[in-house]
């Protein structure tokens, strides 16, 4: 379907490096000449020699580390990418207004496109949890009590609000030779791990660990407070941070990637929670449906069964109705958060091409 942007790694953008394509976004590193030209033409408040990139978000949907597709050639979720970008932009602006830190976004020339400043990312997934649910609950229910160096009390119940916000970071990528840190992707680490190996995790100074935790907690609180005003609960989320150079030449720790979206967070309806029910306004609802469709839920939960999981995702055509329900979830929560309707184009690829050529002048010559 043309209204779904499935492939986002093949736009003919002039680049200085190979395109990096993740599960949802593709990153195009612009040439030094184009970076400097845009900084001058668009008036970005950053040093003239800063490296820039385009980030183009797709409408693909990933869950359990797999990409899913549906019936009738539906290769994604209509409006999902625009909803993610709109929500992230809203929260990043809220952080800036609260005096926290800026983000890597310099401009949003199209609902599916960001112009960003290059940043050196921390090799940490910064995860914050206000409720015990999901993987944390499964581990707790299985007898685990220590999470990232934090000891939880006995007697907690599933989906219960925790006494305080927990920071439970994990590694991004495989880090080798770090005492106490397993050589595997996405393993939990503690505050003491970060203090001992601060350079390996990408910190430029040991004192920046405090800045990182402060930005994480404060950012969570900003989002939680605004969601509460629209009857929603901010359950847990993932933040990402990186270093970049400010206009005055100083180094600063900033927010990057996406934040507070239905992809990276759990968001519950507050009224339903007060009645003892969980109503998801995030991708978690989609994940729960996948668990019911799997021949054995363990295939989706057990990382040792990735080959079976990938085969299941590859060979399963999800009902179109399910993906359209996910679309409504994303668009509805985006509208409530931003206070604006999210425009969904029938021709997103063509629209992006026009912006890249006519507005930014970044397409290769034919």
* pLDDT tens by residue, 74-100: 999 999 999 999 999 999 999 999 999
CATH entry 3.30.200.20 includes domain 20-118+337-359? yes
The β-bridge partners of 239 are: 126
Q: In this predicted structure, what is the pLDDT of residue 286?
A: 95
Tens of pLDDT, residue by residue over 107-117, are 999 999 999 99
Q: In this predicted structure, what is the pLDDT of residue 343?
A: 85
Category of 82 on φ-ψ map: left (φ > 0), alpha (ψ -120 to 50) or beta: alpha
- For the domain 120-274, what is the CATH code? 3.30.470.20
Query: Is the pLDDT score of 257 beyond 80?
Result: yes
Structural tokens at position 184: 């595997």
- Read off the pLDDT band of 366 (50, 70, 90): low
Q: In this predicted structure, what is the pLDDT of residue 1?
A: 47
Tens of pLDDT, residue by residue over 29-55, are 999 999 999 999 999 999 999 999 999
Q: In this predicted structure, what is the pLDDT of residue 345?
A: 87
What rounded mean pLDDT belongs to the chain?
A: 94
The closest of 318, 341, 342, 332 to 76, measured between CA atoms, is 318
Asked if 4 and 76 touch (Cβ cutoff 8 Å), the reply is: yes
Query: Is the pLDDT score of 186 beyond 90?
Result: no
Structural tokens at position 90: 């809203």
Residue ranges covered by each domain of the chain? 20-118+337-359, 120-274
Tens of pLDDT, residue by residue over 4-33, are 999 999 999 999 999 999 889 999 999 999
Long-range contacts of 268-275 (CB under 8 A, 24+ apart): 268/232, 268/233, 268/235, 269/231, 269/232, 269/233, 270/228, 270/231, 270/232, 270/233, 271/231, 273/159, 273/233
Task: Please give the average per-residue pLDDT across 187-196, as a whole number.
Answer: 93
């Amino acid at each position: 379907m043309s209204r779904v942007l499935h492939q986002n790694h093949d736009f003919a953008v002039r680049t200085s490096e190979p395109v990096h394509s993740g599960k949802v976004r593709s990153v195009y590193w612009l040439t030094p000449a184009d970076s400097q030209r845009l900084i001058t033409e668009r008036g970005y408040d950053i040093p003239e020699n800063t490296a820039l990139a385009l980030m183009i978000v797709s409408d693909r949907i990933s869950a359990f580390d797999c990409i899913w597709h549906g019936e009738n050639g539906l290769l994604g979720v209509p409006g999902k990418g625009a909803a993610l970008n709109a929500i992230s932009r809203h929260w990043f602006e809220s952080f800036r207004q609260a005096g926290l830190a800026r983000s890597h976004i310099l401009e949003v020339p199209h609902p599916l496109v960001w112009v960003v400043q290059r940043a050196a990312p921390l090799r940490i997934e910064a995860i914050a949890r206000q409720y015990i649910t999901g993987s944390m609950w499964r581990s707790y229910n299985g007898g685990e009590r220590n999470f990232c160096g934090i000891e939880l009390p006995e007697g907690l119940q599933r989906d219960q609000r925790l006494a305080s916000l927990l920071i439970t970071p994990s590694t991004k990528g495989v880090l080798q030779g770090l005492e106490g840190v397993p050589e595997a992707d996405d393993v939990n680490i503690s505050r003491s791990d970060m203090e001992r190996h601060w350079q390996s995790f990408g910190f430029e100074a040991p004192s920046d660990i405090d800045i990182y935790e402060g930005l994480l907690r404060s950012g969570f609180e900003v989002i939680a407070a605004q969601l509460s005003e629209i009857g929603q609960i901010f359950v847990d989320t993932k933040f990402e941070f990186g270093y970049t150079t400010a206009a005055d030449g100083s180094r600063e720790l900033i927010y990057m990637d996406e934040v507070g979206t239905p992809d990276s967070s759990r968001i519950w309806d507050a009224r339903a929670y007060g009645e003892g029910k969980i109503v998801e306004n995030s991708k978690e609802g989609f994940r729960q449906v996948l668990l019911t469709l799997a021949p054995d839920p363990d295939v989706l939960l057990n990382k040792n069964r990735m080959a079976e999981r990938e085969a299941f995702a590859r060979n399963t055509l999800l009902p179109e109705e399910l993906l359209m329900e996910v679309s409504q979830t994303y668009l509805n929560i985006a509208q409530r958060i931003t206070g604006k309707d999210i425009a969904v184009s029938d021709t997103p690829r063509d629209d992006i091409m026009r912006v890249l050529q006519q507005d930014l002048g970044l397409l290769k010559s034919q």
